[in-house]
Amino acid sequence: MKQALVDDTEDVSLDFGSEEELALRKARIRHPLATFFHLFFRVSAIVTYLFCDWFSNSFVACFVTILLLLSFDFWSVKNVTGRLLVGLRWWNQIDEDGKSHWVFEAKRVPAVAASTEAEARIFWLGLIICPVIWTTFFFSTLFSLKLKWLALVIAGISLQTANLYGYIHCKLGGQKTISRVTSRLFGTADVPKRQSRRISEGGTEEHGKTGTRKS
């Protein structure tokens, strides 16, 4: 009877850590301030563009206000929110020869320190939807012949699309660099095996030659 009980019992390992990490990623927003400012400046620029005539009759004041909001949004998304919310970063640097180089970086962090799914969803939705809205404004100003707003709309499209292109390049470029690194690691791991095979083959050839000489 005791032997049967022992046979019926078995050790089962429960991985509570992965479940806790998954719940942490889905539960809450870990960077509320960065998430707020990721949407605040770009949404404020769109709302100001739509309703600025209700608050002010000055075209210059509206133009400057919207342009400042777009500039704040470009800087915050490029330097702060992308790094915190999705672990991506891109920038431009100039080398010693004076040549300009674009750098696209995808950071690999542990699951506990990574951004949540809600943050990543908010980041990418805000990054994609707002340039589409500014593109709609471009065609509306063009067809309604409101050419005085055309320069501002083009500036909005340029700033919003630059961040979108940069972060898409970071996302795709990060996956490519990971595959390249792994292929290089596997390639370097095969080098000692190839060298040992060559040495063993060379040793067998020399042994064969000495055997023929003795005969």
pLDDT tens digits, 98-127: 888 888 888 765 444 456 888 999 999 999
pLDDT at residue 66, as a whole number: 96
Is residue 137 assigned to a domain? yes
Number of domains in the chain: 1
> Considering the chain, what is the average pLDDT of its residues?
75
Nearest Cα to Cα of residue 183 among 195, 171, 175, 193: 175
Tokens of 206: 């020399």
pLDDT digits (tens, 9 = 90+) for 182-198: 344 344 444 444 444 54
Kindly list the distances between the CA atom of residue 56 and the CA atoms of 137, 178, 205, in Å, as whole numbers in the listed order: 20, 52, 91
Secondary structure class of 201 (helix, strand, coil): helix
Is residue 10 assigned to a domain? no
pTM: 0.66
Is residue 2 assigned to a domain? no
Nearest Cα to Cα of residue 87 among 177, 159, 170, 30: 170
Is residue 156 assigned to a domain? yes
Is residue 186 assigned to a domain? no
The rounded distance, in Å, linking the Cα atoms of 124 and 170 is 13
pLDDT at residue 129, as a whole number: 96
Is residue 147 assigned to a domain? yes
Tell how many helices (H) and how many strands (E) occur in the chain: 7, 2
Secondary structure class of 57 (helix, strand, coil): coil
The rounded distance, in Å, linking the Cα atoms of 161 and 130 is 9
Is residue 210 assigned to a domain? no
